[in-house]
Amino acid sequence: MSLTVLTVVGARPQFIKAAPVSHAFAAHGGIREILVHTGQHFDAAMSDVFFEELDIPPPAHNLEVNSLGHGAMTGRMLEKLEEVMIAEKPDWVLIYGDTNSTVAGALAAAKLHIPVAHVEAGLRSFNRRMPEEINRVMADHISTLLYCPTQTAVVNLKAEGITKGVHHVGDVMYDVTLAAVERAKGRSEILNKHGLTPKTYAVATIHRAENTDDPERFARVIQWLSDRGRDVPIIMPVHPRTRKLMEKSGLNPAGVQLIEPLGYLDMAWLTHNASGVFTDSGGLQKEAYFHRVPCVTLRDETEWVETVEAGWNRLWTDADYKPRQEISEYGIGKSSAKIAQSLVEAKK
């Protein structure tokens, strides 16, 4: 039996999540994957390097849709994805996470009556002001198969009336993190390049619209980082949008070393050796736990409530961490193989 899966990716976190699943498809046999890059992240440092480092095959289609507002970007992606899906006739469309690429892939497939499988289904921040939250909800209600990284995600879907096709498979990010640390050990020079000693520095990132679109809030985040920088050296790979905002506003965190965006292996090694992580990124919150590095989330809520309950993560508005414990529901690094097998079985 041959199964054709059309995978839609477009942003840095999706390239990372797609890597172990693509490898699982190849290892399983009988699965033909067509990778479509929407172009949402188009800078080489935010795109090409991940395909190279994570050994992901080059995209069969690059739609080159970027640098537009939410509506225009999603609409353009929808139009171009529909053309690709009509030409390729996949059995499944596979989407990841919560970006414009995610919801465009889901909508295009639904209108062509192609079943959708959503990796990282069921996450909720319960903040509908976040575009990511709207994308998550829409994608989940369109999808036929919903691959949840946690039991909390399963419960969230049940509360919205979604129970059919829901699978708790664990987190594919854990799969790729385990592999990346082993690869980075012998390859990454990021610590030497920046004169860093393990466990003596913190890593920071800022890119979410809720922090960058509100000038007053952005100023608060920058001041918060400046205050932390008095206690521990901070190194911050800067998202292109955030760098433009810093230049425009004249706001730069004191005591923070700003560097260009990193490839996945360098970022994994930088995080693995850090003493702490300060971020508004959903992915990096989890990765911090996978590396067993405490995290402070620079938001007022998080989708990854397990990391907070287990004491590895806290919101910046919280005074301290809860007692620390391990999180079992993210799995043991075999989530991608479960997804491959599930898609094959669903075709039978």
pLDDT at 105: 98
Residues 6+ apart with CB under 8 A from 140: 118, 121, 122, 146, 157, 160, 162
Residue 9 within a domain: yes
Share of the chain above pLDDT 70, in %: 97
User: What is the predicted pLDDT for the residue at 60?
Assistant: 95
Q: Please indicate, yes or no, whether residues 60 and 167 belong to a single structural domain of this protein.
A: yes
Q: Are residues 160 and 183 in the same domain?
A: no
Q: pLDDT at residue 44 above 80?
A: no
What is the pLDDT confidence band of residue 66, given thresholds at 50, 70 and 90? confident
Are 276 and 247 part of one and the same domain? yes
- Confirm whether 118 is a catalytic residue: no
Q: What is the pLDDT of residue 11?
A: 85
| 45 and 160 together in one domain | yes
Per-residue pLDDT averaged across 116-141, rounded? 94
324 found inside a domain:
no
Domain residues for the domain of 116 are 3-171+331-347
CATH number at residue 292: 3.40.50.2000
338 assigned to some structural domain? yes
pLDDT in tens, 176-197: 999 999 999 989 999 999 999 9
Q: pLDDT at position 53, please?
A: 84
228 and 113 share one domain: no
Q: Is the pLDDT of residue 63 over 70?
A: yes
Average pLDDT score over residue span 215-234: 95
Is residue 297 predicted with pLDDT exceeding 90?
A: yes
Quick one: average pLDDT of 122-147?
94
Same domain, 308 and 343: no
Q: Which of 37, 118, 207, 291 is catalytic?
A: 207
Phi, psi angle pair for 343, to nearest 5°? -65, -40
Q: How far apart are CA 305 and CA 47, in angstroms?
A: 29
Query: Which tokens belong to 221?
Result: 């985040």
What backbone torsions phi and psi does residue 186 show, to the nearest 5 degrees?
-100, 0
* pLDDT(348) > 80: no
State the pLDDT at residue 255: 86
Alpha carbon distance 139, 118 (integer Å):
7
Nearest to 253 by CA among 204, 317, 190: 204
Is the pLDDT at 328 greater than 90? The verdict is: yes
Handedness of CA 161, 166, 170, 173 (dihedral sign): negative
**What is residue 261's DSSP assignment?**
-
pLDDT at 29: 86
| Residue 323 within any structural domain of the chain | no
| 3-state SS class at 142 | helix
165: pLDDT strictly greater than 80: yes
Residues 87 and 18 in one domain: yes
**Average pLDDT of span 126-131:** 88
Local confidence band at 46 (pLDDT 50, 70, 90 cut-offs) = low
**Number of folded domains that form the chain:** 2
Which pLDDT score is estimated for 51?
Answer: 78
Query: Quick one: pLDDT at residue 240?
Result: 83
pTM of the model: 0.85
Q: Is residue 245 part of a domain?
A: yes
Within a domain: 322: no
CA distance 1 to 68: 41
Same domain, 272 and 126: no
Asked whether residue 326 is assigned to any structural domain, the reply reads: no
